[in-house]
Amino acid sequence: MTRISAGFLLLLAGAAASLSAEESMWSALTQQQHAQLLAGKQVVLEEEISGKPWPRFTIYHLVKGTPADVAAIFWDCELDPKYIPDCLSVRIISRSAPWIHDGEYTLKMPLFLPDEVYVSRNELKRHSATSYEISWKVLRSRYSESCSGSLRMEEHDGKTLLCYSNLVVPGSRIARLLRSTAGNQVVSSVQALVRQIASEIEMRPQLLEQQLHSLEHALETAK
């Protein structure tokens, strides 16, 4: 689900997280990274991939709320234009299953580039009562050859550790020149999600309740 990237990076929701769904994300991090997360900071990792012009970005953040809260907010992709920078519109165009939907995203692009309109297939999974994953793959895009990714959420000491990971292969020479901008926008867009989570938990409980209901409905028949 290419939603977490601000601006043109919204189309760049990238490749799957390096950890398997069964592992504890927290235990895989270092003590220094634990300290950053407990201080309310993001842990941002870049992994260079052979033959790819952009690295894989992986971002961890520890937030208040349950994994279900975070999954419900992120699954509500049509709300993205309200809080994700440069996201102009999102609409669900098809549902092949309650836990899978295709969304059409329109994004404002930087510089002189025309708006991006792309289609992403988003899939929701619940690995356990305290662990969720939402993955996505872009089916059609003006500016990228390929992009797929995931947001994982797991409980940690009454909070939720989220991990957003993406790897994008830009499809144009112009896109290849925007590597540094891409990294900055990934970071800022994760921050936007974190702010939305805090805002809904603290000030919009009715909206969150509706999103949780939609999440449970989507998972009712999922295997």
| CATH (domain of 91) | 3.30.530.20
The whole-number pLDDT of residue 176 equals 64
The whole-number pLDDT of residue 174 equals 65
Q: Residue 17: pLDDT band by 50, 70, 90 thresholds?
A: very low
> Does residue 92 fall inside a structural domain?
yes
User: Has residue 199 got a pLDDT over 50?
Assistant: yes
Q: Residue 223: pLDDT band by 50, 70, 90 thresholds?
A: low
Number of domains in the chain: 1
> Does residue 64 fall inside a structural domain?
yes
Among 23-32, 46-55, 97-106, the minimum mean pLDDT is found in 46-55
C-alpha distances in angstroms, 66 versus 22, 38, 63? 18, 16, 9
Beta-sheet strands, E only, within the chain: 43-47, 56-64, 87-97, 100-107, 116-128, 131-140, 144-156, 159-170
User: Has residue 64 got a pLDDT over 80?
Assistant: yes
> Does residue 30 fall inside a structural domain?
yes
Query: Among residues of the chain, what percentage have pLDDT more than 70?
Result: 84
Burial of 107 (0-12, 13-18, 19+ CB in 10 A): buried
The whole-number pLDDT of residue 105 equals 93
The whole-number pLDDT of residue 1 equals 44
The whole-number pLDDT of residue 55 equals 81
pTM as predicted: 0.85
Pair 135, 161: CB distance under 8 Å: no
User: Has residue 7 got a pLDDT over 60?
Assistant: no
Q: Which residue has the higher pLDDT, 11 or 121?
A: 121
> Does residue 1 fall inside a structural domain?
no
Query: Tens of pLDDT along 94-146?
Result: 999 999 999 999 988 877 788 888 899 999 999 999 999 999 999 998 887 88
Closest Cα partner for 9 from 194, 138, 199, 173?
138
> Does residue 15 fall inside a structural domain?
yes
> Does residue 65 fall inside a structural domain?
yes
The whole-number pLDDT of residue 170 equals 76
Pair 123, 152: CB distance under 8 Å: no
> Does residue 2 fall inside a structural domain?
no
Burial 48-69 (b: 16+ CB within 10 A, else e): eeeeeebbbbbbbbbbebbbbb
Closest Cα partner for 9 from 166, 121, 174, 172?
166
Among 58-67, 99-108, 168-177, 187-196, the minimum mean pLDDT is found in 168-177
> Does residue 196 fall inside a structural domain?
yes
Mean pLDDT across the chain: 85
Q: Residue 85: pLDDT band by 50, 70, 90 thresholds?
A: confident
